[in-house]
């Protein structure tokens, strides 16, 4: 057995609440989002987890979520690396549009393909494959070495950057990833084997 990797999607953002495509735009958390993030921290604390290093994106909703968690686990000044490689999928021309308006304009099926397929990018944006092409190398080069040294690593990021990471981590197919949804503020704890494969997975739902 090797180390521990905890992935958490940010708490509800203002644009999640308004049902807008967000991507690389930078809205803050809602009241609910702040409390989801604090609750995630309390659940991680109850598991007795103590982190060695944390990673997040350059977007404030993930950074604020991370800080709430670190405050709750009693490690407010933990070393934290911020990198745009962990940003949400770039939603391109859909950014800022209402998701129901987009369904009315382009159809339910097309919008679902843009949101959940592996290799169809939204107009002007990134497919999940494109997102994985920046997330996975960053994970392998920067994050995974800590886990393989036996450390406990926290990554606070986004729905689709984490779906791309989970796909590679679990070896999911492009069919299997379609059904993978990540709730806001719900930590997922992976224990990794020394050969970097997944030994166990636990979802810390409320």
Ligand X SMILES: O=C(O)[C@H](O)COP(=O)(O)O
The single residue of 10, 68, 72, 158 carrying the catalytic annotation is 10
SS (H, E, C) 176-201: HHHHCCCCCCCCEEEEECCCCCEEEE
Among 27, 41, 125, 159, which residue interacts with ligand X (rule: CB under 6 A)? 159
Binding of ligand X by 63 (CB under 6 A): no
From the list 17-25, 68-76, 121-129, 171-179, the region that binds ligand X by CB under 6 A is 17-25
The verdict on whether residue 90 carries a ligand-binding annotation is yes
Tell me how far apart the alpha carbons of residues 155 and 60 are, in angstroms, rounded to a whole number: 14
The single residue of 36, 68, 72, 88 carrying the catalytic annotation is 88
Q: Which residue's CB atom is positioned nearest to ligand X?
A: 22
Give the nearer residue to ligand X in terms of CB position, either 57 or 160.
160
Give the nearer residue to ligand X in terms of CB position, either 9 or 68.
9
Give the nearer residue to ligand X in terms of CB position, either 8 or 73.
8
Among 2, 3, 4, 21, which residue interacts with ligand X (rule: CB under 6 A)? 21
Binding of ligand X by 22 (CB under 6 A): yes
Tell me how far apart the alpha carbons of residues 170 and 40 are, in angstroms, rounded to a whole number: 22
**DSSP of 90-154, one letter per residue?**
--GGGTTSBHHHHHHHH-HHHHHHHHH-SS-PPTTS--HHHHHHHHHHHIIIIIHHHHHTT-EEE
Any idea which residue has 């999607």 for tokens?
9
Give 162: exposed, middle or buried? Use CB within 10 Å, 0-12, 13-18, 19+. Answer: buried
Active site residue 50: no
Binding of ligand X by 23 (CB under 6 A): yes
- For residues 24 and 87, is the Cβ–Cβ distance under 8 A? yes
Residue 57 has phi, psi (to 5 degrees) of -90, -170
Binding residues for substrate: 9-16, 22-23, 61, 88-91, 99, 115-116, 159-160
Catalytic positions, written as ranges: 10, 88
Interface residues with ligand X (CB under 6 A)?
A: 21-23, 88, 91, 115, 158-160
């Amino acid at each position: 057995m090797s180390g521990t990797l905890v992935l958490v999607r940010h708490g509800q953002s203002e644009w999640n609440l308004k049902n807008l495509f967000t991507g690389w735009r930078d809205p803050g958390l809602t009241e609910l989002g702040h409390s989801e993030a604090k609750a995630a921290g309390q659940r991680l604390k109850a598991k007795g987890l103590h982190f060695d290093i944390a990673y997040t994106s350059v977007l404030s909703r993930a950074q604020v979520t991370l800080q709430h968690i670190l405050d709750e686990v009693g490690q407010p000044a933990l070393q934290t690396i911020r990198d745009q490689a962990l940003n949400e999928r770039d939603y391109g021309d859909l950014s800022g549009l209402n998701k129901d308006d987009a369904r009315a304009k382009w159809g339910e099926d097309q919008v679902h393909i843009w949101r959940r397929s592996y290799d169809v990018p939204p107009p002007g944006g990134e497919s999940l494959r494109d997102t994985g092409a920046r997330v996975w190398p960053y994970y392998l080069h920067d994050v995974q070495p800590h886990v393989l040294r036996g450390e406990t690593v926290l990554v606070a990021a986004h729905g689709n950057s984490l779906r791309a990471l989970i796909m590679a981590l679990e070896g999911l197919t492009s069919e299997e990833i379609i059904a993978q949804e990540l709730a806001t503020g719900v930590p997922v704890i992976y224990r990794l084997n020394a050969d970097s494969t997944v030994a166990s997975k636990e979802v810390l739902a409320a």
